[in-house]
Structure 1
């Protein structure tokens, strides 16, 4: 598959200052050297704890945050602020203008980008988008506060689609919704991907949210991607200690298994991105770290087809940290 988006050693650093007139005394390395490809038509899930840099990466992709280093390419060309890349935000209540009707909210990007000419054509396109996301056409004359959270998120999806994008960044797009509504929105996104040939970067803070929608998953920790794999391979045989810890936190619907499973509890808090640890950034919390991890940055290695990780102990990990569900049940 050809790559639609390529990130090459992407960096987003924010200066730290002591006052309005003071110079920078350091930087927060929110995104610090990320290289990724997103093939056309794929859903790449991105997971990590709060503060790991995944939302900052997404905002850089849509042009809301300016990278301080590296490159973002779309179809092999440098990406500028481009309508071909749009975002669905986490909180639809905060991302929709309460003073604009739903119809005006969806129609505005169509008009601003010159995608339709004339009021009749713009209105017709707005109504088509309401149909596409499963909202009644009468919603065009109402305001966001008159709708539920799930309905407002459908409006956010319609607004993103109004620009006729190739890739949509879904930034925690379902995390603020009830579980039953999450499933409906995920199903809608999958349907739209099939119908329109969309590509998604689907950002979430837990792997459970990515299990159904993603084709591949990228795991991010403290500004860097530490593991990338096809979804099935990542869930069956994660090869980074941080990924195994995240997987151990996913609830299992079988009560018997859930009672016996072994959680991997990470020690200490996540370090500051203004002063990341030397060597492997995860070594301060890793239960299997050795001296090499503390002083030498792990090399990026492919452990199987399409499955890569940055961990010195990747080959030993299945024995050092057995699967947190099946190992406890079998023993």
Structure 2
């Protein structure tokens, strides 16, 4: 490992009994120089106040977080285009790892074949190493407790594995605010976040426009107050629109008019615990998810819109537009099929 990465494990896991060979820093500097975050070996990509996106997968009860998933895919994309051919994505939760595998299969199949890019749970990753490691902790609001995988008796070993599989660039995708609120001081994850804060390794949500240099054609990051793109997609819908409106959402008139003026062939499904009869839906599912999203023609997945439905968010207001039939099928299958 590059010494900036091993500094944490040397101190907190191995009680300063392990040191760095003097050659390691120089041998890893070429990896460190690449994007994303050039010339930085250890990074905490903070997702605080970007919305309440952590939910449980209905079939397995494993946790997933689509916002952190999309950010992590963007990191893989930036790292690959930056010259890295050896990239690992790890997370404690099987649902999140499986969803990343689905996303990579759909958007990055050829690149994964040509390069060494893998998504796995931390349990499965032992014994393997990558130049770039992305560690996605998933946990965040509105979960009331951090998961046992991150705080239980085995959590130190799992976090140690996630860090020590890295040769040159370790990127920790985590909700710093949530962890400081829900994880005890003595736990390894809390110590890792504090260590990265103290060593000025944090990248805040406001810096998203600085580190995203390459928009993938099928995953676009868009200012959530600019509605032209989403409204064009809604007008182009041919068969279906699924919209999640968390309880308490106050929808602006322009949104209501856009949805009501849809093509008559388009079936509108509303997911909400509240009655949205004014939208004239074909169907309403009487439950609420904590974040808004829109699925158009089972192909386009918009996350972060309508902005009025996003809770726990501060500027900059960002939405993500994913073109992935497989991810849309997954969400429809998990959250709508049994209703």
TM-score, normalised by the number of residues in structure 2: 0.29
TM-score, normalised by the number of residues in structure 1: 0.30
Larger radius of gyration, structure 1 or 2?
1
